[in-house]
Chains A and B, each alone.
Chain A
Amino acid sequence: MKISELPRIELANLLHRGELLLKLPPFVTRLKTNVPSLIRDFAVMYADFEVSSIDAFADFHVEIASEPGLWRWLKPQVRFFFDGRPSFIPLPTVQAFAMLEWGLNWCVAAHSHQYLIIHAAVLEKNGKAAILPAPPGSGKSTLCAGLVMRGWRLLSDELALYDMTTGEIFGMSRPINLKNRSIGIIKQFAPDAVLTDSVPDTTKGTVALLRPPTQSAVRVREPVRASWIVLPKYTPNMLPLLEPHSKARTFMLIAEQSFNYDIHGENGFEAVGNLVDQCACYQYTYSQLDDAVRTFEELCSGKIT
């Protein structure tokens, strides 16, 4: 059953009791919350995601709860619990959904070493896939959102799950985390995009989350094999420029941007080497999403090799 098929009141009850098991293939997360705004955002953002039966195995037990005490009237806050233990500092209640997203990233990155977990966006079209690794501020999420709103399948905005034995990459197709100016840019670029309210003053600035397209959520179990690694570099007022990027430097970037590269040791070194071998590596400087869509179209149709 999908989240959208659950009556809202039942969804709220399940979340209150901590009995909602959300399928985030390849994982299952058990969620609990008593925060009304979070329940509302969750219902919209995860509408196309499946629910697991109550007696299933859950990889992660997550709760977001309102902080008790008198302060809650003046300065309402929420706290993230991982398997019953408070983790991380409390945040203002308006940030509850963003907190859930960040917390889920942490759950996956800290516990799932069956994959090499790369901090990167992954997109697919016509069976070919691009990895967009990027340190914060490179415009990765904006580019990812732009391409997704023009028909690319979203595997992941934040976490690429690289199976080191098969070379396949999985994503959970979770909401895209937009920051600051990109929120306005995406709203203008794709007026039909479904976003959460913008939340100002988070440690990452103003954030809003973009709902993944239904098609991406439906095909969440299909992995890809990457053809390109593209380092996005948003630079205002620049003509678009796609240029080959050093394989060795790309290797180092992927290694740095992997959460558990260290844990995999020599296997991690081999795996990143194989990934870089199999992909064409580029750096892409851009300032307009329309240019980017065109460039990626050309990549996909083989006009650029």
Chain B
Amino acid sequence: MTHAAALWLSSPAEQLKLKSWDTEDGLAVAYNVRTGDTHLIEDMALQLLGLIRLSPLSVEALAQQLASFFVEHDDEIIQEYVFASLMQLKDIGLVTDVAH
């Protein structure tokens, strides 16, 4: 798969401010200090950002850690979903991919 080669890391804490509430919808907001943009993000994206805050992980590792979020059990589908989320987060500058 195309995403196998990369490790993912979220922006450092001083560049990325997060705010979440203990509410049912699990939605959170994220502020990108460099771009000045604010984003509404979903629960899973929030978890994802948390997992790669300190050290980078691969899509496979992330999919394993986030498996409990999915009713789906097919690893490949979960990985695709995680990858798509990462691409979206990359688009808005909240995560970066680093080579192995």
Taking Cβ atoms with an 8 Å cutoff, the residues of A that contact B are 246-249, 251-252, 255, 261-262, 265-266, 269-270, 273, 276-277
Closest 8 A/B residue pairs (Cβ): A248-B27, A247-B21, A269-B31, A273-B19, A246-B25, A252-B40, A251-B29, A248-B29
> Contacts A269-B17, A269-B31 known; A255 to B25 CB distance under 8 Å?
no
Quick one: given A248-B29, A249-B27, A252-B29, are A265 and B21 in contact (CB under 8 Å)? no
Tell me the smallest distance from the CB of A214 to a CB of chain B, in Å: 40
Residues of A within 8 A of B36 (CB): 262, 265
Closest-CB distance, B94 to chain A (whole angstroms): 14
In whole angstroms, what is the CA distance A266 to B38 when docked?
Answer: 10
Let me know if B38 and A248 touch, CB within 8 A: no
Tier of interface size on chain B: 10 to 19
B40: which A residues are within 8 A, CB to CB? 248-249, 251-252
Scan B1-43; emit 1 where CB is below 8 A from any A CB, else 0: 0000000000000000101110101011101010010101000
In the complex, what residues of A have CB within 8 A of residue B21's CB? 247-248, 276-277
| Bound-state Cα–Cα, A192 to B84, Å | 59
Q: Determine if B17 and A247 form an interchain contact, defined as CB atoms under 8 angstroms apart.
A: no
Contact residues of A: prevailing secondary structure:
helix
CB distance from A254 to the nearest CB of B (A): 10
Bound state CA distance, A270 and B27, in angstroms?
17
CB within 8 Å of A: which of B35-73?
36, 38, 40
Query: Is the Cβ of B38 less than 8 Å from the Cβ of A255?
Result: yes
B residues engaging A (CB < 8 A)? 17, 19-21, 23, 25, 27-29, 31, 33, 36, 38, 40
Chain B residues whose C-beta falls within 8 Å of the C-beta of A277 in the assembled complex: 21
CB–CB A266/B31 < 8 A: yes
B31–A247 CB distance below 8 A? no
Q: How far is the CA of A252 from the CA of B29 in the complex (A)?
A: 8
Q: In the complex, which residue of chain A has the Cβ closest to the Cβ of B33?
A: A266
A251 with B23, Cβ < 8 A, contacts A265-B36, A266-B31, A266-B33 known: no
**Residue from the list A248, A265, A270 in contact with B28, Cβ < 8 A:** A248
A248 partner, pick from B17, B20, B31, beta carbons under 8 A: B20
Q: Which residue of B lies closest to A263 (CB)?
A: B36
* Closest B residue, CB atoms, query A264: B36
Which residues of the other chain, A, contact B23 by a CB distance below 8 angstroms? Answer: 246-248
Instruction: Give min CB distance, B30 to chain A, whole Å.
Output: 9
Least distance between B47 CB and chain A CB atoms (Å): 15
**19 A–B pairs (Cβ distance < 8 Å), ordered by A:** A246-B23, A247-B23, A247-B27, A248-B20, A248-B21, A248-B25, A248-B27, A248-B28, A251-B29, A252-B29, A252-B38, A252-B40, A255-B38, A261-B38, A265-B33, A269-B29, A269-B38, A273-B29, A276-B21
Q: Which residues of B contact A276 (CB under 8 A)?
A: 21
What's the least CB distance linking B70 to chain A, in Å? 22
A235–B8 CA distance with the chains assembled, in angstroms = 46
